[in-house]
Structure 1
Amino acid sequence: MTTGSRTLRRALLRAWPRRNRTLVVLVAFTVILTGALLAWPDQAPLTALVVPLLLGSILLSPRQLPWFVVLLMVMLMLAIGRLPDIVVRQVIAIAILYLLCFIVLVTSFRRSRLGVAGMLGESMLVDLRDRIQQQGGVPDLPDGWLVETALRSAGGTPFAGDFVVATRPRHSSRLEVAVVDVSGKGEEAGTRALLLSGAFGGLLGALPPGDFLPAANDYLLRQSWDEGFATAVHLSLDLATGAFEVRTAGHPPAAQLAAGAGRWTVHEGEGPVLGLIEDAGFSVVSGVVRPGDALLLYTDGLVETPRRDIGLGIDRMLGQAERLLRGTFEDGADRLVEALGSENDDRALVLVHRRS
């Protein structure tokens, strides 16, 4: 092959979209299978056409898939016409094949709302999930500080209505952390959590600490969702001095361990749920994290159940924290989340510890 022909071939491949090449390959594969069914009707099984049907449902775009399914159904009709004798077993197999084609057609029409093929749509959701987890990642901290996060979704799915956003604003010694619980659970709240995590992450690093919850409340009100409310707790911590401010919006209160006394204190704050009341105000609770102290921020999935009051749940959580965090705080967030709450509810927890 000459250099010019290679260059022309590469140019044609670049000009021809990959999805069109995939369609041509699948059509050719279907025609070859149909040819085998026509040539050897007694030996070649009709169910072989399930293979291109499955590949098409995974690889083809919603615009191409319906036409490919129609082609496959035509090929199936040609193959049926070559069968010498049709027995009951073959009738059942043919009915199942056409049912599968109908299911794939319905699926393609539903995918047309998104406009991408199955694998591409799944990869987009995975990418969004990874981004929400990255926003909950803890930024680099100075020596002497340990901050851990743990998140578990209802039913073990990778999407949850609880999320964490954390950031260190530039030219500042402060760490900003928000733990948010979106209405609903699991996949029901996952889409709203994906949107809110990006918006809240941007607000968290761009606004003064006292303006974050009011801005988040205004953002939720503008969405006009039927289930558009959320609860949140916001921690603003000075990593140089240990001074902190906590504000809550309809959320369980933060808890602080005073290492000197060995006792946990609950910092009760006042503030309405986000997304319900305009111009809402949020009170602030101030304090200092001294060497050896710890802070816990968490969602109600860790402390509240239909059969247990949230106050009793907080007492149980602090009892577990006193037992599980004794001696070391490393991996403490994961240990607490595993020991508390229900697998049927989303759970999120942030552990902040100032090393002695």
Structure 2
Amino acid sequence: MSGGEPLLEVDGLEVTYQKGDLSHVALQDMSLQVRAGEILGIVGESGCGKSTLSAAVMRLLAANGAITAGSIRLKGQELRSLQPAQLRQIRGREIAMIFQDPLTSLNPTFRIGTQLVDAQKAHTSRRSRRGLDRELRRRAIDMLTQVGIPDAQERVDHFPHEFSGGMRQRIMIALALLLEPALLIADEPTSALDVTLQAQILELLSRLRTERGTAIMFISHDLGVVSQLCDRVVVMYAGQPVEEGDVASVFERPLHPYTQALLGAIPSRKRRGAALVTIPGRVPSLADLPQGCRFADRCQFVQDVNRGAAPRYVGVDGRRVRCNIYDPESGYRPAAAVQESIS
């Protein structure tokens, strides 16, 4: 993992969706940093705001979505203030994204080679394009070879439906890496793949970080995958980050009660034959969020103080956690059982 200045800085980000006369806050007080050569995992249940975060960073929110607070800085440049034409120059060249379903992201009516060449042309001036088609096609074939597409010279002229799911995902990675972006956002890139293909894609992403120094924001609900691939992890719940730290620390000694419950619910061979562990209760609706801690109704350590002021995102032993248990200013006084659990 590389040190130095952050490549991507998200600070106090808030995203709101409008539905008729009602507005719902889908992301709130979201802050994170990604450095060059680092893989940051974003984990949480479906609907917690992971994909909204990636869309906000790419400035690709749906028409009814808007960034209502906070900042997004890439290499120190504020992305919120950029115009559409400026954003088009940054997407692909500085920051790129791998989507969950490549079959819906690739154009089914164009050959793979055409799509790879057109992506390069979009970032080339009209004057420079003259006579470049052969060179751009060569680059496309080279990139397909690098991501593990066999017989790339021939298959560059195939259509998306002629490839397997794993091969299509590799093509999406090739498309994202053509212009050598500094930051790659991977939104659930392995969720639709079998275990063998999943391992191949993860190995490829790890190699990209090692060989190119590419920073990766890896979004997933699969804690096992995140533990293998990522350097640091942000755990999200109901639109907020609740814990952040290096992967080893978070997985070996989780601080937030939600992180503890989430890791405790992972099936284990040691519990073979036993009932699956679940987290009691339900995730709160974005249309009716509680005023205090959003996890309070499901938390085994809840006290009345949790139902008042919302917990702050505080630093603890090189990590950050959104929980009154760890905030000396919260007024929370952990009982002996809680102290034993978190010590």
TM class, shorter-length: under 0.3
Instruction: Name the structure with the higher strand share.
Output: 2
Q: TM-score, normalised by structure 2?
A: 0.23
Q: Which has the larger radius of gyration?
A: 1
Q: TM-score, normalised by structure 1?
A: 0.22
Greater relative contact order (Cα 8 A, min sep 6): structure 1 or 2?
2
